[in-house]
Structure 1
Amino acid sequence: YSEEAVVQGEHWQLVTSGSGQCSTPAPNPPTVLLHNRYTLLSAGDKESPPTVEETRPCTTKVEQSPATTARRKRRVVVVGDSLLRGTEAPICRPDSSSREVCCLPGARIRDVTEALSRIIRPSDYYPMLLIHVGTNDTARCDTERIKCDYRALGVRVKEFGAQVVFSSILPVKGRGPGRERCILEVNAWLRRWCRQEGFGFLDHGVLFQEGLLGGDGVHLSRSGKALFGHRLANLVRRALN
């Protein structure tokens, strides 16, 4: 299923892992500067540690007392497009009751914004909400539209009172210099915007290049999926510890 296969009139299916539940299909919509909360992650000699920047998270919810928080189920949710397919095992295997991957094949930023109300449970406590989306949006090379959609998503996630981390958009291959420039520009803006809004930013840089991208130039190879899942799983583990 291609990342860019969603066209007007089609539907995408929410696929979850870790909770044992799947939501019903939803219609098409009309990668944090912290106080060093997360330590640098290491993925071996071939991988440079991911940079996670964070500031104090912005939230519109009333802070819960320690006693109230302790009674609520702790859950980390990773949500985004089909690049998350294949990351379920490394992320959820240690404890599927507190970790969930929600893969929305073909999703754009607006799809994630709409899906969050079906994914986030008010009765649970979220140490972190990790979002990876944006690859499909860059196909149009409309950076202003992409920024606008990210801002709308930012307004939505603040309603949940969770620590939010955005994952940078991964590079693509063979889609033209305009697409590459768009991804670089959006990632640079996304880093600044996350700092301003108090969100986390997981920067993959140019790590996912030759050998880690699949034949279509958009999805990841087997090695790329393993590395991507490892980086996300490390961040999830630190949020729960």
Structure 2
Amino acid sequence: MSLGWPGNVLGFPLEELAQIGLHHTAGWLTVRRKHRTQPVGHHQPVHVSNRFSPLNDAPTDKPTMIIGSSIVRNVALDTPATIVKCLPGARAGDIKSYLKRLAKDKRKYSKIVIHAGGNETQLCQLEVTKINVASVCKFPKTMSDSIIFSGPQPDWTSDGMFTHMLSFNRWLSRWCPENNVGYIDNWKTFWGKPGLMRRDGIHPSSDGAALLSRNMANFISPP
């Protein structure tokens, strides 16, 4: 920056002005600014923050999962954040394998409802069915706050199947409470109501699927 005062500038001799950083050149007064730098040790850090949290850090409610064989194909719940996964022909071991894949992705659920056992029971190996069901119920405890087992409906395909399914249901009604697993007693609500089952005697009809859905919904979120 230059100030145009010739000769004595502002009443001060030029020698004195030079000592304070003012220089006279061709009748002009030139100001040379000195840049001072603070020592690094005295530099105050600048704190930068973002008051908006990233989307992936926002808390989200863990969903409820219903997983089972073709019995749950038409199950539908009005409960928010409910996922229904149907694995046609699945046995307890197949459901456990599917849950293991989800566990590798660190999936978490508030509740997991399992409907299985019917396809094993058709093999007339009740003790094997018990072992498999116990295994699949214990594994998801690592990925869910609550495990619930949806019990079977009466099977009218043959006297042998009816007997096996009845024994399986009785065992479940005792085993689940003893092992901190929720138990939905579908047998009681389906008993004596043939219209709730299809002609094959295995799969629920549309009314049966609606009842199965209500049984699950009432257990998950009691009215």
Q: Which residue of 2 aligns with 1:192?
A: 174
- The code of the aligned residue for 2:63 comes to R
Change beyond 3 A, Cα 1:166–1:94 = closer
The answer to whether the 8 A contact 2:79-2:217 is kept is no
> Aligned ranges for residues 67-216 of structure 1 at < 5 Å?
71-88=59-76, 91=77, 93=78, 95=80, 98-119=81-102, 122=106, 124=108, 126-173=109-156, 175-208=157-190, 209-216=193-200
1:25-52 CA distance string (max 9 Å, x none): xxxxxxxxxxxxxxxxxxxxxxxxxxxx
- The code of the aligned residue for 2:120 comes to D
The answer to whether the 8 A contact 1:212-1:221 is kept is yes
- The code of the aligned residue for 1:148 comes to I
Cα distance in structure 2, aligned partners of 1:119 and 1:213: 32
Cα distance in structure 1, aligned partners of 2:181 and 2:220: 15
Task: Give the TM-score normalised by the residue count of structure 1.
Answer: 0.62
Instruction: Give the SS at the match of 1:153.
Output: helix
Query: How many percent identity over aligned positions?
Result: 30
Farther off after superposition, 129-138 or 223-232:
223-232
Cα distance in structure 1, aligned partners of 2:181 and 2:187: 18
Cα distance in structure 2, aligned partners of 1:211 and 1:158: 36
Runs of 4+ in structure 1 deviating by more than 6 angstroms, as ranges, are none
Instruction: Give the SS at the match of 1:154.
Output: helix
Cα distance in structure 2, aligned partners of 1:134 and 1:221: 19
- The code of the aligned residue for 1:71 comes to P
Change beyond 3 A, Cα 1:215–1:165 = same
The answer to whether the 8 A contact 1:194-1:201 is kept is yes
The answer to whether the 8 A contact 2:184-2:215 is kept is no
Instruction: Give the SS at the match of 2:114.
Output: strand
1:135 CA drift (Å): 1.2
Instruction: Give the SS at the match of 1:71.
Output: coil
Bigger Rg, which one:
2
Task: Give the TM-score normalised by the residue count of structure 2.
Answer: 0.66
> What CA RMSD, in Å, does the superposition of the two structures yield over aligned residues?
2.1
Cα distance in structure 2, aligned partners of 1:128 and 1:140: 29
Structure 1 unaligned segments of length 5 or more: list them.
1-69
Change beyond 3 A, Cα 1:123–1:216 = closer
Aligned residues: 163
- The code of the aligned residue for 1:216 comes to D
Cα distance in structure 2, aligned partners of 1:123 and 1:167: 21
Cα distance in structure 2, aligned partners of 1:155 and 1:183: 21
Cα distance in structure 2, aligned partners of 1:154 and 1:87: 20
Cα distance in structure 2, aligned partners of 1:225 and 1:161: 25
Cα distance in structure 1, aligned partners of 2:126 and 2:65: 27
1:100 CA drift (Å): 0.3
Cα distance in structure 2, aligned partners of 1:101 and 1:236: 13
Change beyond 3 A, Cα 1:236–1:140 = same
Change beyond 3 A, Cα 1:111–1:177 = same
